[in-house]
Structure formats: structure tokens, C-alpha cells
Amino acid sequence: MKAYPLVAGLIFATSAVAETPTLTVYAPDYFASEWGPGPGIETAFEERCGCDLVYKTGELLPRLLLEGEKTEADVAIGFNSDITKKARESGLFAPHGLDTSALTLPVDWSDDTFLPFNYAHTAFIYDNTKITEPLTSFDALLEAPDDLRLVIQDPRSSISGLALVLWVNHVYGDEAADAWAKLAPKIVTVTKGWSESYGMFTDGEADMVLSYTTSPAYHIIAEEDLTKSAAIFEEGHYFMVELAAKLAGTDNPDLADQFMAFILTEEFQSMIPTSNWSFPAALPKDAWPDGFQDLPVPEKVLFYSEDEAAAMRDEAIEAWRSALSQ
Amino acid sequence: MAQRAVAITTATLVAGMVLLPVAAVLWRGGGPGTLGPADWAALRFTLWQAAVSAGLSVALAVPVARALSRRSFPGRVALIALMGAPFILPVIVAILGLLAVFGGRGLINQIGAPLGLPRLDIYGYHGVIIAHVFFNLPLAVRLLLQGWQDIPAERFRLAASLGAPVWRVLEWPMLRRICPGAFTVIFVICLGSFAVALTLGGGPRATTVELAIYQAFRFDFDLGKAATLAALQLALGLAAGAFALRVAPKGGFGVGLDRQIDRWDGTGVAARLADSLWIALAAGFLLLPLLSVALAGLPGLAKMPPEVWAAAARSLALALGATALTLALALPLLTGAGETAALMGISVSGLVLGTGYFLLLQPVIRPGDAALPVTMLVNALMALPFVIRILRPGLEGARRDYARLAASLGLSGWHLWRIVYLPRLRRPLGFAAGLTAALSMGDLGVITLFADGDNATLPLQIYRLMGSYQMESARAAALLLLALSLGLFWVFDRGGRLHAAA
């Protein structure tokens, strides 16, 4: 007898679920966490769509590749341009069909599948009360005294570490190995990910850390701390962009399209700076928050297409590895 | 015999829980991958650092455990409990704690520089070893300390009355029995090192197999290669287990009155001084980095985000579940073969294990729903070798010493365990449970593969906070984790020692 209310409850629950469609968004862990942009975006989108947006986190591309066609994901957000080749080749993603002319990236972007939602440039961050004469070029960094203490990330385990070896490759080309040899004595250590490096920097263990041009904005806006600066190099900085894409096999193509379009709206874009701590991909500079408008940015932006990045990755990592293994 | 059947079944179960996921990854990856010269170099470095780290941890643990076993001083129990903390810290927190003391701008250099001492540079092979000794010395000390406590007090008295050398007749034979097993578990833990080895090693010279697995998985999505490397880790772990089985002699000291009384040797001034020095050195080495973790956490404690508390509650539940599961698996496995089977769980890369479970579960259930149970299972598998190492000497001793008596009384099965074995295992059971709970509390583990935003554990929240620049809150959360892990450890460990003299 007691089973009836339970069964009734189940039926009621399923019908309630059926009325509210669910959009499943795969995202990196930092994105969906309470301190990332995810929660704000979820609330804003749910108001528009009358749906339930659910994040699934983890290693984004490996998880999607593991699940293949069976994935529950409708949209995946948080790819990096240096690994999109593998993602594209999987055939799991569909064109977004959006007009990308509103993008405000410092590079031309015409990808019909992967849609940018934020960007930054790789940069070395330093404490401007300790280093009072900023380094203005990569050459100057290479020639700096060897007691300058740098921490970087490993290109084999970290996306920012990979961006650095591509950056060095872009600036020095065939002489990348020499550049690494000059840099090697200054590199205190190499860490698995960004967090270890940045923790070492804020602890004072390192003078400079490989991070992004937007990192000082966090300290300026959230901590009112003006002592952290990005060194701007005249040779240019490597461009880091984060992307979203719609799954070809989505059960909710309309909702997924709606979400992809939402990415380019001012509401979405204006949430990016102070939650993702990076530049919005489609928002004119005068709409950025104060701390962002004043950030020094490089005049020259260096970038490899996904094919170029994939082609030179192994060689660039090997130049790094052999110079730092001496 | 029924007991033997249970042991074989459990060993098969444990082996299956490790081999099946690895096989699933291998199958999904389309067969074994090929290893390049860089992979073999990583393998050589991995073996070298694991062997040196384990050897040094055990060698240093001998004087420290000996000193702790024969000295009593106020705060001794608290010191022993606190000294176990490095073992259970999340890697990222432990690294920052170590660097606060040994780093280029760390405490030692800040004190040393004005005194004109040469600068200590931690980064290099020696840094890897120092960090691994920091993590594993406490475990080695506890395992050996237990060995000392298992020597019946009557033997010490007899040796003293006969003027026999305690070291040669009592301590050395005990060490020969305990050390190979202690070396093996630490060796196998160090095989899986990645972030610690890389950061303290100063760069790509310190590349381990685990890094190669991570790279294969994350950037190349070469599952065949990841599984091949994991199988290699497994083979190394099993070889280490077989080695320990061969090297450790059987036998013991016979039965005493099963109580503890004061030692009669080591009362000279030189011995007292040496013991005090060893205890002070070990305490300083292990506790200073912890102190820095605690101090770094204090400022952010007041404004810690509420999500951290929810994650802490989740982690506590996870730790208790993993503890129960580990003990349930461990008790039937307290044999040499069982110990070797259990080593498999910690030999294999957590990433590959997690991926394997992901593949196995995916057709049946949503991986996100299985996040916490799978994390609990993997934590239990990882703690199993330690638990068995802790329990086995005690059980073997009790079997040897009381089996005849028990047989003459007709005790068997559950009654034998309840009346004879379990009371004798109270102390190691408490320690083993405490260690498992604390270990599982601090493990980031496979949850990163499955987490769905609302089932984050405390270590994962620490990583999330750090990833969002919130270093201060992350440090506060790390302090909370440290306090909770130590608290859990203390409750279990203390429980095991209640009503036991000394």
C-alpha cells in the first residue's frame, strides 16, 4: 500500500522534469566553481530560457572524447585554441551559425565551430615594488641577471606552459633553443599547473611568474593591491583564447543554439572580466570595468593557428625540455 | 579452510578492482602504446628517486622511532600524532609549506643569510628526496615504532638482567622483519609522485612516469600509452612487493605478558642526548612546514566561503566511508600474498584508475552520480597497503603466540577473532583507521574526473579557490583540512590506545 504515494511521486517528478528542459554544459572545473563565471552565467541564462542549466566539470576534452557520441553534453565551454585541432577532428561538434563580426578580439577570428568567449595574453607578472625597472622586451628578460627568480608551468601538463613554449617559438624561431638556454638559469622551477606557480609567486618564492596580462586586474579590483604588474614585451605576447562549441549530437539543439548566442550578448560578456579575470571576447573596451580599461596590453599579439600549433608543439616542447634538462 | 577461501576471494576482488579499470583503458585505447626514449628516461628517474626516498625515509626512521620508543616526555603522544600530518596533506599545500621553510626565500635562508651561511637551494634531485622524506618519514617512524612496541617488555628485562646487547638480540631482528615492508610501501607511493617531484626537482630533469601518463591522457588522448605506463607502474609495484616478501624473515620474540613496562637499557647520558637530538630534529623537520601552513591559513579563516564548509562535510563522510571499506577489505588480506595484492592499488596511477572506472560505469550510470562512491573506492584501494602493513605484524604475532592456546580452548572463526586477535590488534587498528581516514580526507584523487560542481571535496575546493586567485581563502581551507584530518586521525588512533597501558 505504501508504494503508491512513492510511485505517484515518481511520476509527478518525471513529468515536472519533462516540463523544464535541461541544458547540460561541460566546463573546466574552475569555470563552474563558486568563484568562477559559471554560477552568474547559469542564473542569467536560466532567466532567459526557462530551462535548467547544469554544469558537468572535469577534464573537458578527455571527458568528451571518452564519452564520444553518447555524451550528455549539449554545449562545451572552456576549450583552448592550442588543442582545438584534436577536438575538431573528433567530429563531435557542430557549427554555431552565428555572426562573429561583433567580436572584439585583437586577432581575426572566423571559426564557424569554436566561438571565443574570453581572451588574455601570456605574460610574466612581477611585484612592481621589488622590480622597479620593468623589463620591456623578451630579449631584456633573457639578458637579465641570473638571480632573477622565475617560475613557469610545464608545457606537458599545463595549457599556459604550452602557450609559453609557443610564445618563445614565435619570437625566436630557429633560435628558440638558445633562448631557452639563456632563460634556464633564471627558472627556479617548473610546476604542474598554474596554481602552484602563482602560489609560489604570491608567497614571495619567485620574482616573476608566468601568467596572463589580466592577472593584475584581480589584485587591483578584488584586493585593491596595485603592486602586481604584467611585463609588456615589445616583441609581442602570445594570445590565449577560450572557446565554446555546440555538440553535434545534442538533444536540445534549440537551447544549445540559444546558449551559444547568449555568449555574444553584453549580459554574458560583462560578467567575464571580474569573474573569469580575463578580457571579454565581444565587448568594446569602454564597457570594461575600470581596473581592466587601464591594464597595459601589448601592441603586438602573436598567435598560431591550431594547425600550426599542433605541428610545432612536439618540437617546441623538446627545445624547452633539452635546454632545461642541462 | 574457510578463512583461506575468504582471503583468496578478497585478494581476487582487490586485484580485479585494479586490473579491470586498467584493462578497460587499454582496450579503449586500442592496445598498448609505444614508449619513446623520454618515457624510459622518466622511468629510470622514477625508480631512482623512489628507491632513494624510501631507503632514506626508513633509515632515518630507525633512530627517531627508537628514541620515541624508549623516552617518555610530556606531549609525546601529541607529537607522534602531529608528526603524521605531512603524509595526509594535499600536495599543493605541502609544497607551499615546504618552500616556506626550505625555499629560496624560506625560513632557513632568512635566518642563514645574515649569519653568512651558504644559501640553501632546495630545487634539484635533493629537493625531490627531501620532499619525499618529509611526506614518508612519519609513516616509517610509526611502522617502526609499532615494531618496538611489539617487543614484549619481558625481553628487555631479560636482556638487561643477562647484560645482553639489546640492539643485536632484540632490535636488529625486529628491524629486519619490519623494514622491508616499510621500504616497499614508501617505494610504491613514491613511484606515483608527479607534482612534488617536478616542482622540487626544478624542472623537466625530474620527470616521472606519472607526468608522462598525465600528458598522454590530457594532451595526446593516447589512452593506450597511458594504460601501458600504468601497467608498467603496476609491474614495478608487484616486483617491490615480491622483493619485500623474500627479504623479510619470519619469526618473532615469542609471547610475553602482553603489556608494556619501562625499558631497562639506554639510560646513559649519551643515549639520552642522542635520542633527544633525533626527536628534536625530526620534529623540527616535520612540524615547521606544518606550522607555516597553519599560519598562512589563519588570516583567511574568518571569511572562509560557506561552500568550503559543505565540502568539508562531504569529505568527512567520504573519509569515514573509505575507512570502513578499507578495514573490511584489509582484515581478510593479512597474509603475504594479500599484502602483495594490495600493493597493486597504490602502484597504479589514480588517473588511469579513475578513467577506467569512468569507462566501466559509463554504460550503466551517469559518471557524475558515481563520483563520490568511486572516489571512496579508489581511496580505500590506495590506503589498503598501508593498513595491511600496519596490521600484519600484529596479527602474525598474535597467531604465533596464541594459536596453540586458542586451539586448546577450541576457539575458532569469529570467536577467535573477537577474543584473541582483535583485542591484540586494537592499537594498530586504531592507527590504520586513523591513517586511512586522514589520507582519504586529503586526497584530491579521481574526483577531478567526475566532479559535477556540487559534489566537490575539500581538497578540490582548495584547488578551485587557488585557480580563482583566492589564495588567502585557499590557505584557510587548507588549515581546515589539516585540522580535520588530524582530528580524525587522533580520534581513531586514540580509540585504539584506550584501555591499553602506556
Query: What HEC string does B75-130 produce?
Result: CHHHHHHHHCHHHHCCHHHHHHHHHHHHCCCCHHHHHHCCCCCCCCCCCCHHHHHH
Whether B459 contacts chain A with CB within 8 A: no
Fold of A120-239+298-324: D-Maltodextrin-Binding Protein; domain 2 (3.40.190)
A64 contacts on B by Cβ (under 8 Å): none
Interface of B with A in 215-274 (CB under 8 A): 215, 217-219, 221
d(C-alpha B367, C-alpha B361), whole Å: 7
Closest by CA position to B449, among listed A203, A62, A73, A191:
A62
Cα radius of gyration (chain A)? 22
Q: Where are the alpha helices (DSSP H) in B362-421?
A: 371-408, 413-416
Contact B92 A35 (CB under 8 A): no
| pLDDT for residue A9 | 44
| pLDDT for residue B266 | 66
Q: pLDDT 10s per residue in chain A (326 long)?
A: 344 444 444 444 444 445 789 999 999 888 988 889 999 999 999 999 999 999 988 888 888 988 888 888 999 999 988 778 889 999 999 999 999 999 999 999 989 999 999 999 999 999 999 999 999 999 999 999 999 999 999 999 999 999 999 999 999 999 999 999 999 999 999 999 999 999 999 999 999 999 999 999 999 999 999 999 999 999 999 999 999 999 999 999 999 999 999 999 999 999 999 999 999 999 999 999 999 999 999 999 999 998 999 899 999 999 999 999 87
d(C-alpha B456, C-alpha B464), whole Å: 9
Contact B204 A324 (CB under 8 A): yes
How would you label B384-407 residue by residue, b for 16+ Cβ within 10 Å and e otherwise? bbbbbbbbbbbbbbbeebbeeebe
- All three cell numbers of B348: 597504479
Pairing of strands A208-212, A52-57: unpaired
Note the pLDDT tens digit of each residue in B170-203.
788 888 888 988 999 899 989 988 888 999 999 8
- All three cell numbers of A36: 568562477
CATH, range A3-119+241-293: 3.40.190.10
Phi-psi region of A30 (alpha: psi -120 to 50; beta: other; left: phi over 0): alpha
Note the pLDDT tens digit of each residue in B124-166.
999 999 999 999 999 899 889 888 877 777 777 777 777 777 7
Q: Pick the residue from chain B with its C-alpha nearest to A194.
A: B467
Domain layout of chain B by residue ranges: 2-497
Q: Pick the residue from chain A with its C-alpha nearest to B99.
A: A205
d(C-alpha B379, C-alpha B383), whole Å: 6
Query: What HEC string does B365-376 produce?
Result: CCHHHHHHHHHH
Q: How far is CA A98 from CA A94, A112, B234, in A?
A: 12, 8, 49
Distance from CA of A27 to the nearest CA of B (A): 10
Outline which parts of chain A fall under CATH 3.40.190.10. 3-119+241-293, 120-239+298-324
Judge whether residue B238 has pLDDT over 90: no
Whether A325 contacts chain B with CB within 8 A: yes
Task: Provide ipTM, 2 decimals.
Answer: 0.87
Interface of A with B in 98-157 (CB under 8 A): 149, 154, 156-157
Is this structure's pTM higher than 0.80?
yes
Pairing of strands A187-191, A237-247: unpaired
- All three cell numbers of B6: 575468504
Lookup result for grid cell 621500504? B183
Residue B118: is it exposed, middle or buried by C-beta count within 10 angstroms (0-12/13-18/19+)? exposed
d(C-alpha B140, C-alpha B182), whole Å: 6
Judge whether residue B331 has pLDDT over 90: no
Pick the CATH number of B2-497 from 1.10.3720.10, 3.40.250.10, 1.10.260.30, 3.40.50.10860: 1.10.3720.10
How many Cβ pairs within 8 Å bridge chains A and B?
152
Whether B130 contacts chain A with CB within 8 A: no
Whether A85 contacts chain B with CB within 8 A: no
| pLDDT for residue A234 | 96
Task: Choose among A35, A54, A61: nearest Cβ to B465.
Answer: A35
